[in-house]
Amino acid sequence: MSAFITTRNHHGSLKLLNPSPRLRELFEVAKLETVFEMFDDESEALRSF
């Protein structure tokens, strides 16, 4: 979370590339999937900036 807050405070974006199924599950349980954008494809992630 600290990396997200620091990045946001500097007007940046933090996105996750190819998170493991376990990490996706943890983010869903913690309701963080709405905070972090997650991508399975690197080119799609890059286009999102």
pLDDT tens for 13-29 read: 889 999 999 999 999 99
Q: What is the pLDDT of residue 27?
A: 94
C-alpha–C-alpha distance, residues 49 and 34, integer Å? 17
* Residue 31, Ramachandran bin (φ over 0: left; ψ between -120 and 50: alpha; else beta): left
Give the predicted TM-score (pTM) of the model: 0.73
Quickly state the pLDDT bin for 10 (edges 50, 70, 90).
very high
C-alpha–C-alpha distance, residues 33 and 44, integer Å? 17
Q: Where are the domains of the chain?
A: 2-47
Residue 39 and residue 15 in contact, taking contact as beta carbons nearer than 8 Å:
yes
For residue 49, give the DSSP letter. -
**CA proximity to 4, closest of 47, 35, 45:** 35
